[in-house]
Amino acid sequence: MTETSMDDKCLYKLIQERDMIQMMVESFTQSVTEGNNLFEVPTKAFVEHHNELIRRYISGEPFISSYFCCAPEIYTAMDLPWSTFLTPAFTGMLNPDYQDEVDASGQLFATDLCTIIRQAAYYVVADMVPPPTAIIAMMHPCDGINVVHQVMANDKKWKDVPVFGADPPYWADERSLDYYTDQLYEMVAFLEEHTGLKLTEDKLRETCEESNRAYAIWDEYSQTRRAVPCPHGGGMGLQVFGTLSTNLCGKPEGTDWVKDVLEDAEALIKQGKGAVPEEKIRLLWFDVLSLGTTTDLFPWLEEEWGAVIVMDMFGYAPYSQLDTTNMDTMMKSLAARALNDVPMIRQARGLADLFLVDITNIVKEYKIDAVIYPGYMGHKDGTANIGMMREKCRELGVPFTTIGMDFYDDRYTSPDEVKDKLSKWFESMGHTPKSG
């Protein structure tokens, strides 16, 4: 086996990101409760997670590459750390070299391909991420993600890493769920073979029960955002999603933390406080987010227009509880969650109706005044549904707009252009900015 050390080039992104993550605690939209920092726990968890991946790579202990939509409770139950090098795309604004990396990725693929996917492939080719013990491929919701795995298969350092991809069905009926459950069983057998670790029923039950507790509290927290004014700003939903579905998935620390988030929101509601002193416009942001949107655009919306992102695609929590009766019920529940509950996956994997169902439910339940579909350039599946989403919003009686932007490269549509378009949209609805 080749000797490894902290100086290995392929650890570059993990080390860089670990160091940057310490800065993120002050970057997300924070609670207005004085002296309450809700970001210490998830930030510490990210740092510890990265340190463990680095340690395992150097020591030769098993770790995998995977994604949040591939039943991560299984990895927690197996004590199997997993990396996803999609994360730097979300935190890219903290990286001074990020635009250079985006440009370099454009040498590999056409620049109309999803920026996150281009970046992930570039990190493999440029030897900036460590090859894992095994790979669980992300096969849904889009065809573009398969490009990353094709790059891995042809890279000299990655080509011999074993890969398994659970094949996602198009439908969500019982036959489809049974099929995908079998796929997850095959995934477990693959992981056991290549990592030497074992999944036990008791450990999976413990993890699933913890995940259930955390997701139930997340659902309670989502309900607090129905309050007028909304207790927290737009960045908190992404933070809850990211924490509970990645580094603290199925862990007591995640449950305790999201309980703190819930209690903070409840305290603010009792005090009649919200994300802004005077909430004027309640918005649904129906797409993915990035650090740039939560640290620049969302605060601008709040400060200039009194407009709050009350709900977004990733903060919305229609998660079902996992049935922990036995191994089969747990695996089937995990299959259902992976296909039907996970944000972006649930909307884009199958029928376009799911976009419309979520918009309808959120608008009605959260007293939404207007809907923004930002039109991320990589989400061509969602963009194809703009006409249907606009018509649904007409039926619901709420204004709808789309922008056309790249969350991860603001040269595509500059922040000033985005703000100008939204300002004109608000003015067309009769609103005036706080600046006059």
Both tokens of residue 406?
A: 């790249």
Cis bond upstream, residue 433 (ω within 30): no
Q: What are phi and psi of 162, to 5 degrees?
A: -65, 140
What is the reported pLDDT for 37? Answer: 66
What is the reported pLDDT for 1? Answer: 42
Cβ contacts of 2 within 8 Å, gap of 6 or more: none
Q: What is the pTM of this model?
A: 0.93
Question: Range of 426's domain?
Answer: 1-436
Q: How far is CA 265 from CA 31, 46, 183, 390, 413, in A?
A: 8, 23, 39, 32, 34
Q: What is the chain's pLDDT, residue by residue, as a tens digit (436 residues)?
A: 456 777 899 998 888 888 887 766 555 444 444 444 688 888 889 999 999 999 999 999 999 999 999 999 999 999 999 998 677 656 666 677 888 999 999 888 888 999 989 988 999 999 999 999 999 998 888 878 888 889 999 999 999 999 999 999 988 899 999 999 999 999 999 999 999 999 999 999 999 999 999 999 999 999 999 999 999 999 899 889 999 999 999 999 999 999 999 999 999 999 999 999 899 999 999 998 887 788 899 999 999 999 999 999 999 988 999 999 999 999 999 999 999 999 988 888 888 899 999 999 999 999 999 999 999 999 988 899 999 999 999 999 999 999 999 988 889 999 999 999 999 999 999 999 987 6
Hey, which residues does 400 pair with through a beta bridge? 371
Number of domains in the chain: 1
What is the reported pLDDT for 27? Answer: 52
